[in-house]
Amino acid sequence: MKKNLEEIKSTAIQQISAATTLDELHEIEVEILGRKQGSLSLLLRKVPSLPVEERPEMGKQGNIVKKEITQLISNKQKEFENAEESEEFFDFSAPSPKPKIGKSHPISQFIREVEDVFGRLGFDIADGPEIDDEHHNFNALNIPEHHPAREMQDTFWVKNLKKHVLRTQTSNVQIHFMEKNEPPFRIIAPGKVFRKDSDATHSPMFHQVEGLMIDKNISLANLKFVLLSALRELISPDLELRFRLSYFPFTEPSLEVDASCPICGTNGKKECRVCKGTSWLEIGGAGMVHPNVLKNVGLDSSQWNGFAFGFGIERQVMIRHQINDLRQFYENDLRFLEQF
Ligand code: PHE
């Protein structure tokens, strides 16, 4: 029996060192150590039938050999595993890893929706320069040089370009568009605007959408219908509007436009995070285009008239998603952006 044990051990050593794959190694393991048919297991099972005085020694030897073989197998297994790791296997037939697909910024998403909704109301999309001259940003909009209304908008003047500003409002597009196009028309002009201002609700760069409709016999009723239809689609089907008299140099009369709270409607609840119980949220300015503005672009105000409006975009997106700090839009933190 001792002879058998040695035989088993020496073949095991041979077989294990000759194994070339993990599968092969596993087969060898079963052949030797397998509980039912393994050669060593079978041998050890005979120990109890040996003469009493031989049993302890044989049992001991058997277990030593079993340990040795188990160790050899586990070493060999590690060898295989290490080889597998170091050998950089590239499977050309494997499907390629999925690319990370980006998506639009929440502000861009909202602008696309605005374009869509106003598009269905017959509005074209117009565009204008972000660096513009004083004439288009101020003068032609009926804001002369020393007019206090200029102070309402903390302006960035461009250093090496005479009388040029980073536009403070998208209203400059009104002038550019009317200089080049004959009425009747309706346009919206979404885009970036710039003012020296920065805190949780102000950023030096933000977005507005301008609206302009010029035709014959336009009234505030038309303005109200257009705004109500668009905002009900964009924000909430039960939205109500409130107009408050205001002042802008380029509209007369001028209005401040408030929308009812998308959470509590016109019955503001004190604990509401969005309206804080006031029911109304200011969303922008509007009014009937001032005759001087029409005159400045060569239009006859006895023939043509119309309305204009200008809304801040960030604020609406903040209301929609209940975002409390506007600066998050521009920090490029993916943990924030990926939520939209
Ligand atoms: N341009 C104005 C602003 O930035 C908004 C406005 C646009 C008001 C058009 C009336 C008409 O505050």
Output the DSSP codes for 7-41: HHHHHHHHHHHH--SHHHHHHHHHHHH-TTT-HHH
CA of 141 to the centre of ligand 1 (A): 10
- The answer on 146 and 54 residing in a single domain is no
Does residue 52 sit in the same domain as residue 127?
no
Cβ(169) – ligand 1 distance below 6 Å: yes
Query: Could you tell me which residue, 246 or 94, shows the higher pLDDT?
Result: 246
pLDDT higher than 80, residue 3: no
- Indicate whether residue 308 lines ligand 1 (CB < 6 A): yes
pLDDT at 66 over 70: yes
CATH number of the domain that residue 217 is part of: 3.30.930.10
77 and 117 part of one domain: no
Is residue 300 over pLDDT 90?
yes
Report the nearest atom of ligand 1 relative to the CA of 312: 4
pLDDT digits (tens, 9 = 90+) for 114-166: 999 999 999 999 999 999 999 999 999 999 888 877 877 789 999 999 999 99
Reported residue count of the chain is 340
| pLDDT of amino acid 50 | 87
In this structure, the answer to whether residues 178 and 326 fall within a common structural domain is yes
What's the distance, CA 154 to chain centroid? 30
Q: Are 14 and 45 part of one and the same domain? A: yes
232 domain residue, yes or no: yes
Which domain-ending residue is among 86, 114, 136? 86
The confidence score (pLDDT) of residue 183 equals 97
- pLDDT for residue 208: 98
Task: Give 131 Cα–ligand 1 centroid separation in angstroms.
Answer: 18
Domain presence at residue 187: yes
C-alpha 137 – ligand 1 centre gap (Å): 11
What pLDDT is attached to residue 225? Answer: 97
Report if residue 93 sits inside a domain.
Answer: no
Q: pTM for the full model? A: 0.72
Residue 137 CB–ligand 1 contact under 6 Å:
no
**Does residue 78 sit in the same domain as residue 110?**
no
Q: Are residues 259 and 312 in the same domain?
A: yes
Q: Over the stretch 198-236, which tens digit does the pLDDT of each residue have? A: 888 789 999 999 999 999 999 999 999 999 999 999 999
Mean of the per-residue pLDDT values for the chain? 92
Query: Do the domain assignments include residue 100?
Result: no
Is 145 found in the same domain as 52? no
Who has greater pLDDT, 18 or 112?
A: 112
DSSP-assigned states of every residue in 272-285? -TTTTT--EEEEEE
Q: Given this model, what pLDDT does residue 240 score?
A: 95
pLDDT at 35 over 80: yes
Beta carbon of 309 within 6 Å of any ligand 1 atom: yes
Give residue 1's pLDDT.
Answer: 74
Separation of CA 203 and ligand 1 centre (Å): 17
The answer to whether residue 275 scores a pLDDT higher than 70 is yes
Tell me, using a 6 A CB cutoff, whether residue 248 lines ligand 1: yes
Task: Please check whether residue 101 lies inside any domain of the structure.
Answer: no
Residue 96 lies in a domain: no
Q: Check residue 87 and give its pLDDT.
A: 67
Range of the domain at 137: 106-337
Q: Whose CA is nearest to atom 12 of ligand 1?
A: 285
Instruction: Give 184 Cα–ligand 1 centroid separation in angstroms.
Output: 21
Q: Are residues 306 and 235 in the same domain?
A: yes
329 and 185 together in one domain: yes
Q: Which ligand 1 atom lies nearest to the CA of residue 169?
A: 4
% of the chain beyond a pLDDT of 70: 99
Answer yes or no: is the C-beta of 255 below 6 A from any ligand 1 atom.
Answer: no
Residue 98 is assigned to a structural domain of this protein: no
Q: How many angstroms does the Cα of residue 248 sit away from the middle of ligand 1?
A: 7
Question: Which residue's alpha carbon is nearest to atom 5 within ligand 1?
Answer: 310
pLDDT(59) > 90: no
With b for 16 or more beta-carbon neighbours within 10 A and e for fewer, the 121-153 pattern comes to bebeebebeeebbbebbbbbbbbeeeeeebeeb
> Which ligand 1 atom is at minimum distance from the Cα of 212?
9
Tell me: do 192 and 291 sit in the same domain: yes
How far apart are the C-alpha atoms of 260 and 277, rounded to whole Å?
11
Per the domain annotation, does 298 fall within a domain?
A: yes
Q: Which pLDDT score is estimated for 92?
A: 86
Q: Which two tokens mark 253?
A: 């009369």
Output the pLDDT for position 21. Answer: 87
- Give how many domains the chain has, as a whole number: 2
pLDDT band at 308 (very low <50, low <70, confident <90, very high): very high
Domain final position from 25, 54, 86:
86
pLDDT digits (tens, 9 = 90+) for 326-335: 889 999 999 9
Q: Using an 8 Å Cβ cutoff, are 58 and 65 in contact? A: no
User: Are 218 and 296 within one domain?
Assistant: yes
CB atoms within 10 A of CB 64: 12
Q: Is the CB of 251 under 6 A from ligand 1?
A: yes
Q: What percent of the chain has pLDDT over 90?
A: 62
